[in-house]
Amino acid sequence: MSAILLIAVPLLTAFVSILFKKYSHYMLIAVSFLSVFALGYMDLETITIGGFDAPFGIVLILDNYSLIGLYLVNILFFIVAVLNCKEYKKLSSILLVSLAGLNGLLLTGDLFNLFVFLEVAGIAAYLITTTNKKPLATFNYLVQGTLGSSLYLLGLILLYAMFGTLNMSDMAREIGTSGYGAGVTALPFLLMFIGFGVEAKLLPFNSWAKGILASSNSLSGPMIASVYAAAISLVFGRLLTNVFVIEGTLLTIVMGILVFSLVAGEAMAFSSKKVKEILLYSSVSQAALVVLVFMTGFAGWAVYLIIGNATAKLVLFLVTNIAAKQLGDDEVDTFKGLFTNNKVVGLAFTAVTLSVVGLPFFFGFVTKMNILENMFLSGAYVWPALILITSFIEGIYFIRLLLNLWHTDGDSPEVKFDFVLKYVVVVIAVLTMIFGVYTKPVQDSADDLVVYSITEGGNF
């Protein structure tokens, strides 16, 4: 089966669904389920569109890296869609387009096509966040997102002017063989890095994230913090490892941005009094960590970090948003003792949080441990120290949060979680623990995740 169907079918359904508004949410569920199902029948290949081989036409790349990304994003998308389809029926067509956009982002092998899908997915994201009923925050997101993707386009066009191609692998090859120094690509790469930094919530460029995620609901929170964050990080990872060559001064600037984002994110989470803000700043610093790991060259573990984060953030944002909706606000004080009445959800929440922090016997531990080990072996001692310190801060505020959620002196709040949600949350938590203890498959497969067909030339 051709991977193009992952984009074409949701699009076709979206176009049709505006005529049958009553059934559009069934279409959404069916299509998002089918695309998870269909992934099992995809062959790894480079797909040519329109019959023109790269670099003249647009190609889609389905290699191990994009396949694992597609599995992650489609499964998470399906979960979020199922849990919300009744409440947000109106958004079904938009969600279908956003599914097509996310799949396109992960698959595309063309830099300009990536910009188009960035905008498709981006506009869908703006519309998803309008359900927060905070038009000003959405407006900020729109302006900053558009500015970010425009900067990406500016960088891209500079690269085109120099190397005369838009195809990713062709571009990487041209840059490698052109014989110019790293100086010529510094400006375009910096512009593209900033552009993607806006979307990936890296710190100086992410003032939109607070307005969006601090007032998110059970659709927009998990969607933006989990599904979109995973997709954007994966695409960012592909650019960083396959296309960009970052050296010299540029490397210093970029690393500076990342370290600032990592440390400041943790510090802001540490000082927050609202549950959603804690989660939001923690995901800011996690995004910076992912990019950092990609840049230091351990792409396989970065992918595992993304998987761990995306699933964890899905659980955390879902539980928090449902509780916040029923309790009225998301102050830590209101949440005190939340889990004394909801032990199942509480245990799952705890397991996932501990995994994010990176305690032993959880999935997060395996990833963090291996990243640290690999960094030590490669002789870079600054980064492991930094990661350890930030993990320590993270540990403090998350455990403080958990203590608050489990323990109260007064009455504990009443919150009802429905059955489907409990099921999803528990399954994710159990998986986190299984792969935290039974680590062999994770250890063995880390290098296979990042077998790129792109570097082997695709279709030349």
Partner 1 sequence: MLQYAAIAMLMLGLYGLLTQRNVIKIIVSLNIFEIGLNLFIISVGYVDDGIAPILTSNFNNNGLIFVDPLPSALVLTAIVIGVGTTALALALANNIYQKYGTFEIDEMGEE
Partner 2 sequence: MKNFLAFVAVLVLGFLIITSLNNNEAFPNYGEADISERVSQAYIDRSATENPGDITFGETTDLESGPANIVTAIVADYRSFDTLGEVTVLFISSLGVALLLGGVNRKRIDLDFHPNFMLRVGSRALFGIILMTGVYVAIHGHLTPGGGFPGGAMIASSMLLLYLADDEFRVKIKGFKMLESVAGSLYVLIGLTGLLLISGGFFLENFLDNGVIGNLFSAGIVPIVYVLIGLKVGSEISGIIDNFLTEEAV
Binding site for partner 2 (CB under 8 A): 2, 4, 8, 11-12, 14-16, 18-19, 47-53, 55-58, 90-91, 93-94, 97, 100-101, 104, 112-113, 116-117, 119-120, 123-124, 126-127, 130, 158, 160-167, 178, 180, 183-184, 186-187
Tell me, what amino acid is at 9? V
How many chain residues interact with partner 1 (CB under 8 A)? 25
What is the smallest separation between the CB atom of 302 and partner 1, expressed in angstroms?
A: 30
3-state secondary structure of 331: strand
Q: How far is the CB of 361 from partner 1 (least distance, A)?
A: 41
Binding-site member from 16, 64, 146, 174 for partner 1 (CB under 8 A): 146
Pattern 118-137, partner 1, x by CB under 8 A: -x---x--xx--x----xxx
The residue (of 104 and 308) whose beta carbon lies closer to partner 2 is 104
Nearer to partner 2, 37 or 52 (CB): 52
Q: How far is the CB of 332 from partner 1 (least distance, A)?
A: 20
Q: At 285, list the tokens.
A: 């610093």
Rounded to a whole number of angstroms, the minimum distance from the CB of residue 438 to partner 2 is 41
Half-sphere exposure of 409 (CA within 13 A, CB side): 1
Contacted entry of partner 2, partner 1, none for residue 31, CB cut-off 5 to 8 Å set by kind:
none
Phi-psi region of 457 (alpha: psi -120 to 50; beta: other; left: phi over 0): left
Using CB under 8 A, which of 19, 161, 177, 377 touches partner 1?
A: 161
From 76-84, 143-151, 262-270, 418-426, span contacting partner 1 (CB under 8 A) = 143-151
Tell me how far apart the alpha carbons of residues 234 and 67 are, in angstroms, rounded to a whole number: 11
Is residue 142 near partner 1 by the rule CB under 8 A? yes
Cβ proximity of 112 and 156 under 8 Å: yes
Q: Of 141, 142, 136, 130, whose CA–CA distance to 91 is shortest?
A: 130
If the CB atoms of residues 16 and 157 are measured against partner 1, the closer one turns out to be 157
Bond before 55 cis per omega within 30 degrees: yes
According to DSSP H, which parts of 378-418 are helical?
Answer: 382-406
CA distances from 415 to 312, 344, 451 (A): 21, 13, 45
Q: Does 154 bind partner 1 (CB under 8 A)?
A: yes
Residue at 160: amino acid letter: Y
**Contact pattern for partner 1 over residues 180 through 219, marking x by CB under 8 A:** -------------------------------x--------
CA dist 216 and 211 (Å) reads 9
Shortest Cβ 116–partner 2 spacing (Å) = 4
CA distance 458 to 460: 6
Can you tell me which of 36, 116, 187, 332 binds partner 1, judged by CB under 8 A? 116
Report the residue number, 98 or 282, with the smaller CB distance to partner 2. Answer: 98
248: left (phi over 0), alpha (psi -120 to 50) or beta: left
In whole angstroms, what is the distance from residue 206 CA to residue 187 CA?
A: 21
Residue 417 near partner 1 by CB under 8 A? no
Question: Which helix (H) or strand (E) segment is 59 a member of?
Answer: strand 59-62
Site string for partner 1, 70-109 (x = CB under 8 A): ----------------------------------------
Quick check: 254 and 246 in contact, CB under 8 A?
yes
Residue 142 binding target from partner 2, partner 1, none, CB below 5 to 8 Å by type: partner 1
In the complex with partner 1, which residue's Cβ is closer, 112 or 260? 112
- The residue among 207 and 378 lying less far from partner 1, judged by its C-beta, is 207
Provide the sign of the torsion angle of the four alpha carbons 181, 184, 190, 195, taken in this order.
Answer: negative
Q: Residue 55: which of partner 2, partner 1, none does it interact with, CB under 5 to 8 A by kind?
A: partner 2
* Neighbouring residues of 143: CB distance < 8 A, sequence distance ≥ 6: none
At 179, list the tokens. Answer: 């014989």
Residue 146 binds which of partner 2, partner 1, none (CB < 5-8 A, kind-dependent): partner 1
Complex with partner 1: residue 161 or 377, whichever CB lies closer: 161
The radius of gyration of the chain's CA atoms, rounded to the nearest angstrom, is 21
Per CB under 8 A, the list member of 18, 44, 143, 396 interacting with partner 1 is: 143
From the list partner 2, partner 1, none, pick the one residue 328 interacts with, judged by a Cβ distance below 5 to 8 Å according to partner type: none
CB 243 within 8 A of CB 189: no
List the one residue out of 440, 446, 454 whose CA is nearest residue 303.
Answer: 446
Gap between the Cα atoms of 343 and 361, Å rounded = 20
Binding site for partner 1 (CB under 8 A): 112, 116, 119, 123, 126-127, 130, 135-139, 142-143, 146-147, 150, 153-154, 157-158, 160-161, 166, 211
